[in-house]
Amino acid sequence: MGKVYIFDHPLIQHKLTIIRDKNTGTKAFRELVDEVATLMMFEITRELPLEEVEVETPVATAKSKVLAGKKLGVIPILRAGLGMVDGIVKLVPAAKIGHVGLYRDPETLKPVEYYIKLPSDINDRELIVTDPMLATGGSAIEAIHALKKRGGKQISLMCLIAAPEGVEAVKEAHPDINIYVAGLDEKLNEKGYIIPGLGDAGDRLFGTK
């Protein structure tokens, strides 16, 4: 059974506040999303398995620990999910990166896959899906579904801000996955924006409107 983790580390909360501020410009916004992704990844990797090795220091042999070779994959949902990738792979440079592109069908309003490119061994990797905003949950649910359909088994979802509606929808559709968020907000408005949120994450990351 998956869990929802809310990262209350003071640095994450401080940076998230600046990210939310409408007066924060594109450059600072992008840098802060990157930093928060790194800090969240630091917390997420806390439980990675270790193994003991011997290493020669300049003066003696030390028994020391290294990561036990768990393979990771980072899967941004296009396009805003891209903003979190660099911050994650800074800590886990061996991670492979896949991409999932979804658009909303104007008739059914459901997300439809238009692009997918994944590491060939996703069944063997722990996959972290990134999307800064978990709003209705539609895109995240579809992206996770796309990974499961292609053999993904260990999947988690990493977002900056989530609405309770999105968390519930993802939990219901994919009860097995962990959800990592920096902020759990109040609600969605009638246009599907998270309140108070931070506005449109893609536009703020890429300077578009």
Give the pairing type, strands 4-6 and 178-184.
Answer: parallel
Q: What is the C-alpha to C-alpha distance for residues 136 and 13, in angstroms, rounded to an integer?
A: 23
Considering only the stretches 52-60, 91-99, 115-123, 200-208, report the one whose residues sit in contact with ligand URA under the rule CB under 6 A.
Answer: 200-208
Q: Which stretch binds ligand URA (CB under 6 A): 2-10, 70-78, 144-152, 188-196?
A: 188-196
Does 44 help bind ligand URA (rule: CB under 6 A)? Answer: no
104 annotated as belonging to a binding site for a ligand: yes
Residue number, 87 or 131, with CB nearest to ligand URA: 131
Report the candidate in 2, 3, 15 with the shortest Cα–Cα distance to residue 182: 15
Does 165 help bind ligand URA (rule: CB under 6 A)? Answer: no
Residue 142 within binding range of ligand URA, rule CB under 6 A: no
Residue 199, annotated as binding a ligand? yes
By CB under 6 A, tell whether 92 contacts ligand URA.
no
Q: Give the span between the Cα atoms of 179 and 171, in whole angstroms.
A: 9
Q: How many residues bind ligand URA (CB under 6 A)?
A: 10
Residue 42 as a binder of ligand URA (CB under 6 A): the answer is: no
The DSSP line for 44-55 is: HGGG--EEEEEE
* Lookup: tokens for 19: 């990210």
Among residues 118, 83, 52, 40, which one has the least CA distance to residue 208?
Answer: 83
Residue 72, amino acid: L
Q: Report if residue 206 touches ligand URA, rule: CB under 6 A.
A: no
| Residue ranges that bind ligand URA, judged by CB under 6 A | 80, 133, 135, 192-194, 197, 200-202
